[in-house]
Chain A
Amino acid sequence: MAPDPLAASGPAPRALGPAPGFRLEGVGFAYGDQPVLAGLDLTIGDGEFLCLLGQSGSGKTTLQRLLAGLERPSQGRISWRGAPVTGPGIERGMVFQDYSLYPWMSLAENIGLALERSDPSLSRAGRRERAAEYLDAVGLPGTARKYPHELSGGMRQRAAIARTLALGSPVLLLDEPFGALDPVNRARLQDLLTGIWREAAPRRTVVFVTHDVEEALYLGDRVVVLGSAPGRVIGELAVPFPRPRQRRELFASREFQHLSATLADHYRAQILDAMNPTLAMTGPGEGL
């Protein structure tokens, strides 16, 4: 791995002790009497790229929805830059796994919805122009008049990112955004996302939910591991790799493999813990 002079002092936002962006104190959430999250404490720095790693059922999507303001916590407090999060806001944009776009609107119209909000003074023609610019920026030139069903999954996710960028939010919440993509597209979009994040000044705060250990390590400044039933923080890791990260060299490096194995063990232990009761119940001869 070639040393990067710009990153000599380690990952910059962490080393400088970032101003708190999100602050979560004792956050709990339940659907009915089913606890999903409990006693969750977490601080996310302003400008930090945080990856939330957890198996399904760990409440990582719920946590994401709480940050977005789509749900309200049943216990505890969540604040963004000191102000309590009470609902969705233009400062927090979100990309879902595969359904951020309205299927009956062209890409330009979808992005136009965000522009109407972020820049109400724009004319219709101005919106169309800006939408095309955002599409160019995510590698989708000339697709403004296309509809989501005419695009591949990877292209749809690019357009979803463009829509969220058009909202001008300092926070990007991404909920397994590349989970439904093939490996090639997934890698491309990961690089697109980190590129967009690195280029902006000041940097956006990114909260990226995934269940892929390598994805989390490759993208994040920090990886927070969520345990399940109910979801809570069971571990976290400051990612030591300088940026820009070179995928091939990084994945081949011993340190990456070591960290990835450590995280995976941590993560797998959780999955096994969660499975144990099930295994015990379906012992030989039982149940059938």
Chain B
Amino acid sequence: MTGTVRPRRLRFRLPWESALFILALLGLWQGLTTWAKLPNPALFPSPALTFRALLASLPELLKGTRASFLILVPGYAAAVVLGVTWGLLVGTTGWLGRTFFPFARAAAPVPPTVYIPYAIALLPTFRLSAIFVVFLGAFWPIFLNAAAGAAGMPARHRDNARLLGMGRTAYLRRVVFRAALPHIFTGMGVGLGLAFILLTVAELFGASAGLGRFVQYYADFADYPRMVAGILFTGLVTLLAMGLLELVRRRALFWIR
């Protein structure tokens, strides 16, 4: 009966079906571009060409990743902190909910891309406006999910907090936050996806470096091997960020079987 809690084993196993599918896709790509030469070879670079371009531009891509993350991380972090805090408050406070929810319902579905030109005009630097747009995109799903999680929390958690005489901040931090965490992670996942989309779109408007900027730049020069390499690399970075979030989620929600 003694012993400590072992954290659940964290590992990703690629199902063989999925591995096979990816191999088949690569094979199709190779077959179409190298042997069949069906599509226009100038527009569809072969895998070999693309991987060579990827290797050649790796330093530039890494620099671009750094530039992108300098936008993504502050914007996303602000969205998480403010979205969760505000969501928990709105979800647990009757009058705040009545005041803010109707507004949120109207504001949340507006595609944040429409704010990009205005944000660039309004804010002093490109980086600030891009951060702001990323923030806006990620904020709504995180806020809405946190609020829903807090409002839908089982009443028993509140009863127990009252019986234990818990103060308001302790209640929000140690009960509501933890109870809403599954919802919050859902919102953070959606928010992260949107943040990447908005980041790359914002970079098309005026970045000097970044993942979206890289793709845009080589597309303008019709250097499609590099462009495709940039797309693949961006996908990989997104995948890694999502995987990291999933790792954190499983760790944090160890108590859900």
Which residues of A are in contact with B by a Cβ distance under 8 Å?
A: 68, 70, 87-90, 92-94, 96, 99-100, 102-106, 113-114, 117, 140-143, 145-150, 167
Q: Does B160 contact A (CB under 8 A)?
A: yes
| A99-B156 in contact (CB<8A) | yes
A88-B165 in contact (CB<8A): yes
For residue A92, which residues in chain B have a CB less than 8 angstroms away from its CB? 163
Cα A273 to Cα B14 with chains together (Å) = 62
Q: Residue B1 at the A interface, CB < 8 A?
A: yes
- A113-B166 in contact (CB<8A): yes
Number of chain B residues close to chain A: CB under 8 A: 24
- State whether the Cβ of B105 lies closer than 8 Å to any Cβ in chain A: no
Q: Which of A68, A89, A104, A145 contacts B4 (CB 8 A)?
A: A145
Contact A94 B163 (CB under 8 A): yes
> Within 8 Å of chain A (Cβ to Cβ): is B220?
no
On whether the beta carbons of B163 and A93 are closer than 8 Å, the reply is yes
Instruction: Assess whether B255 is in contact with A147, with CB atoms less than 8 Å apart.
Output: yes
* Chain A hits for B166, CB < 8 A: 113, 117
A113 to B165, CA, bound (A): 9
* Contact for A102 among B5, B165, B178, B256, CB less than 8 A: B178
| B residues in contact with A145, CB < 8 Å | 3-5
A103 touches B164 (CB 8 A): no
Q: Which 4 residue pairs of A and B lie closest in terms of their CB atoms, listed nearest first?
A: A142-B2, A104-B178, A88-B162, A99-B156
Q: How far is the CA of A143 from the CA of B4 in the complex (A)?
A: 9
C-alpha gap A105/B1 in the complex (Å):
18
Determine if A142 and B1 form an interchain contact, defined as CB atoms under 8 angstroms apart: yes
Give B162-183 as 1s and 0s: 1 = Cβ < 8 Å from A's Cβ atoms. 1111100000001100110100
Q: Could you tell me if B257 and A167 are in contact, using CB atoms closer than 8 angstroms?
A: no
> Across the two chains, which residue of chain B brings its CB closest to A151?
B1
Which of B2, B154, B164, B178 lies at the interface centre, i.e. has the most chain A CB atoms within 10 A of its CB?
Answer: B164
A102 close to B163 (CB less than 8 A): no
Query: Which DSSP category, helix, strand, loop or mixed, fits chain A's interface?
Result: loop
Given contacts A141-B1, A145-B4, A147-B5, contact A102 B160 (CB under 8 A): yes
- CB of B4 within 8 A of CB of A102, answer no
Are B165 and A117 in contact (CB-based, < 8 A)? yes
- B5 partner residues in chain A, CB cutoff 8 A: 106, 145-147, 150
**Chain B residue contacts of A68, Cβ below 8 A:** 163
Q: A88 contacts B1, CB within 8 Å?
A: no
Report whether B175 and A102 are in contact in the complex, using a CB–CB cutoff of 8 Å. Answer: yes
Q: Considering the chains assembled together, what is the distance between the CA atoms of A102 and B177 in angstroms? A: 12
| Nearest B residue to A166, CB-CB | B164
Contacts of A113 in B (CB 8 A): 164, 166, 174
CB distance from A80 to the nearest CB of B (A): 14
A136 to B78, CA, bound (A): 45
Nearest chain B CB to A180's CB is how many angstroms away? 14
Given contacts A117-B166, A142-B1, A147-B255, 9 further A-B contacts (CB under 8 A): A70-B159, A88-B162, A93-B163, A94-B159, A102-B160, A103-B256, A104-B178, A142-B3, A147-B254
The contact sample of 29 A-B pairs, CB cut-off 8 A, is A68-B163, A70-B159, A70-B163, A88-B165, A90-B165, A92-B163, A94-B163, A96-B159, A100-B160, A102-B157, A102-B160, A102-B178, A103-B256, A104-B178, A105-B174, A113-B164, A114-B164, A117-B166, A140-B1, A142-B1, A142-B2, A145-B3, A145-B5, A146-B5, A147-B254, A148-B255, A149-B255, A149-B257, A150-B5
CB distance from B67 to the nearest CB of A (A): 38
**Would you give the shortest CB distance from B3 to chain A, in whole angstroms?**
8
Please judge, given known A-B contacts A103-B255, A104-B178, A147-B255, whether A88 and B163 are in contact too, CB under 8 Å: yes
Considering the complex, which residues of chain B in the window 1-40 have a beta carbon less than 8 Å from any beta carbon of chain A?
1-5
Q: How far is the CA of A185 from the CA of B174 in the complex (A)?
A: 31
User: What CA separation (Å) do A145 and B163 show in the bound complex?
Assistant: 23
Q: In the complex, A254 Cα to B257 Cα: how many Å?
A: 48
Residue of B nearest to A113 (CB): B164
Closest approach, in angstroms, between the C-beta of B207 and any C-beta of chain A?
Answer: 41
Minimum CB distance partner of A173 in chain B: B163
Q: Cβ of B255: which chain A residues have Cβ within 8 Å of it?
A: 103-104, 147-149
Q: How far is the CA of A134 from the CA of B64 in the complex (A)?
A: 57
Most buried by A among B3, B4, B163: B163
Q: List, in ascending order, chain A residues with CB within 8 A of B254's CB.
A: 147
Write the chain A residue with the least CB distance to B181. A104
With contacts A70-B163, A88-B162 taken as known, whether A96 is within 8 angstroms of B1 at the C-beta atoms is no
Q: Distance in Å from the Cβ of A165 to the closest Cβ of chain B?
A: 13
Specify which chain A residues have a CB less than 8 angstroms from the CB of B257 in the assembled complex. Answer: 149
Complexed CA–CA distance, A218 and B181 (Å): 43
Q: How far is the CA of A102 from the CA of B163 in the complex (A)?
A: 13
Chain B: CB-nearest residue to A95: B163
Nearest chain A CB to B199's CB is how many angstroms away? Answer: 32
Contacts of B178 in A (CB 8 A): 102, 104
Which residues of B are found within 8 Å of A99, using beta-carbon distances? 154, 156, 160
- Nearest chain A CB to B45 CB, angstrom units: 50
A88 surroundings in chain B (CB, below 8 A): 162-163, 165
